[in-house]
A and B are shown apart, each in its own frame.
Chain A
C-alpha cells in the first residue's frame, strides 16, 4: 500500500476533481468512486470501503479521520495515464468525525470493479444508518446533554441543493428582425445530502455525568432498550433521507432528465426563454411544493428534515428511568424503560411531507 497524499479527491477544493502525480495533469474523470463521492459524499465512499471486502485487490487503511483507498495499477485502467497508479482519498468533513470513528476503523480492501458496480442508492449514502455507541460518545457528539441517549445530527452546512446556469444566449438572425433568446442550462452544482451522524446506545451499564449525594449515577440499558433506541435514531435517519428524496434529489433528477443540456424553444426576451426552463421544471416535479426556484431548494430540504423533531417533541423518543438501585459503594443505577416512546408507528413518508 502506498500513501500518496498529493493524489487525492478533495471535495472542499473543487467540485469533482481528480489529481494525478503531476498537479498540472489534473483533469475531470468519470470514475465511479469520484461519481459516488460527488453524488453521495465522502462518507459514502468510506462506507463503501467498509462494506465491500475483496481481499487481495488493492488496499486500504484508516488513518485518523481519513480513509485511504489505494488502487493498484491496472484496475484504474482508462482513468490515468498508462503506468500511473490511482489513489483516492476520502477526506471526512469535521462534522462527520464521530461516526467516522465507527465507520472507518475496519476499512477493508475493495476492488475497482466493485466500486464501479455499486449503485449509489444501495446503501452508499452520506446519511448513515445508526451506529452503536457509548453514552459518553453520544453525548459528546450532541454537544452535551445529560438526558441524551441517542443522537442524529442534521446535515447543517454540508448539504447542497443542485444548481444550474440558464445558459441563455441571444442571436439576431442576419442582423434583421428582433433578437431571439434561447436557453441551454448547464450544471453549476450537483446535490449533496450532507453529512450526519446517527448513534444509539449500546446495551450495558453506562456511567453518566449525574451524581446523587455525591455518588456516581449509571444508566443500565437492556438489549431490548438498546434495540429500541437504535430504531428511534433510524427513524430520524430515514426522515432525513425522505426529506432528501422529495427535495434536493428530486430536483437533481428533474434537472438531469429534463433540463440540463436540453433544447428549449426560442423566445423574444431572455426572461421568456428562461421561463420555458422554469415551466418545464414545474411540469416535471412530483412534489409541487418544491417549486422551480433553485435558490429555495436547500432551505426546503432543511425545513422538511426538521419535521423529524416532531418525534422528539411528542415524546415518541423519550425513555424513562425505571428501577433505581444502589450498590454497596453507594453508586446509583437506573434501568432505562420504554417511557413514552412510540417507535415504528409513523412512517417517514407520512411525517416528512410538504
Chain B
C-alpha cells in the first residue's frame, strides 16, 4: 500500500499553534507510560505475535513472553496507528489492556509499539520509560521530581517531564516550565513543549507570551520548518498552516 501522511490545518495564530502542538506532541514516552497498563521491552516473534524474553518496565504482567493482539491487515497494508514490528525486532511496547488470557492489546496511540528501527535510540526510550515508571506517585513529590527533571535531566527525559506537568495539572511545577520556555537554544523542542504545558495548565497569557518569544528567537520560517509546518500558497488572512498529524486522517 502507498499512503499519504495525514495533515492537520490551523490558522497562523498563537492560540491555534499551541492547540496544534499540544495535540501533535501529546505522546511522549512518559505520556505513553502514564496511559499504559503494562510497559515491556522484548524481541518480537511474528509467528506467535509475542514479545519474547520481555522485561516488564511498568505494570503487572508475567514476564518472559507477552502475547500481543495485533491488527492483521488484508493487504499491503491497511493503515495502523503504530508500526508493526517485523520478526526478531527488539520492541518497546505500551499495552493498554488484556484482550484475552495472556494477550494484550497495544495502546491506541502513535508509538504504542516501538520497533528498534522506528526510533532514533531504543535504549534511550527504554531508559526514559524506566525513569518515568520510577517517579513518585504522590502529587507534591511527583511535581517536585518532574520540576527537577525539567531543569536537570538529560535531553531524552526532559520532553516527558515537561509534558507530564501539563498533562497532570501539576501547577506547583509551573516555574520550571517558565524557565524552560525561556531557554535560548537553536533546537526549540523543549522550550516549545514548555509553552504548550503552560497552555495546558491554563496559564494562557503566559503560554502565548512565551510562544511568541520562542518564534521571534528562532525565526518564523525556521520555527515552521522545525515542526514541519507549511504555509498555504494563497493569500488568506490569517494564513492557513498545515502540518503532520500523528493521529492520522480520522482525527483531522
Contacts and interface: CB of A to CB of B under 8 A. Distances in A.
Interface string B1-32: 11111110100000000000000000000000
Interface stretch (B162-170, B200-208, B229-237): B229-237
Contacts of B47: 303
A151 B75 contact: yes
Chain A interface SS verdict (over half): mixed
Given A142-B78, A312-B77, A317 B234 contact: no
A336 B7 CA distance: 12
Interface string A200-212: 1100000000101
A222 to B, nearest CB: 13
Interface residues of B, number: 35
B232 A143 contact: no
A319 B2 contact: yes
Contact of B249 (A210, A236, A239): A210
A351 to B, nearest CB: 10
B178 interface: no
Given A317-B2, A321-B5, A145 B79 contact: yes
A147 B78 contact: no
Given A142-B75, A153-B74, A312-B76, A319 B249 contact: no
A190 B86 CA distance: 30
A318 B5 contact: yes
A326 B231 CA distance: 12
A313 interface: yes
Nearest to B79: A145
Interface in A126-160: 142-143, 145-154, 156
Contact of A320 (B4, B9, B84): B4
A325 interface: yes
Contacts of A142: 1, 75, 78
A4 to B, nearest CB: 35
Nearest to B113: A313
A106 B46 CA distance: 42
A225 to B, nearest CB: 10
A110 interface: no
B43 to A, nearest CB: 16
A268 B232 CA distance: 81
Interface string B70-107: 00011111110001101100000000000000000000
A309 B4 contact: no
A307 B2 CA distance: 15
B37 interface: no
A312 B76 CA distance: 7
A270 interface: no
12 contacts: A145-B78, A147-B248, A154-B74, A154-B76, A309-B73, A311-B76, A314-B118, A317-B3, A318-B2, A321-B4, A334-B7, A341-B2
- The 10 A-B residue pairs whose C-beta atoms are closest, nearest first, are A150-B2, A146-B249, A153-B75, A313-B83, A236-B76, A309-B77, A317-B2, A312-B77, A232-B2, A147-B3
Interface of B: 1-7, 9, 46-47, 73-79, 83-84, 86-87, 115, 117-118, 230, 232-234, 236, 240, 242, 248-250, 252
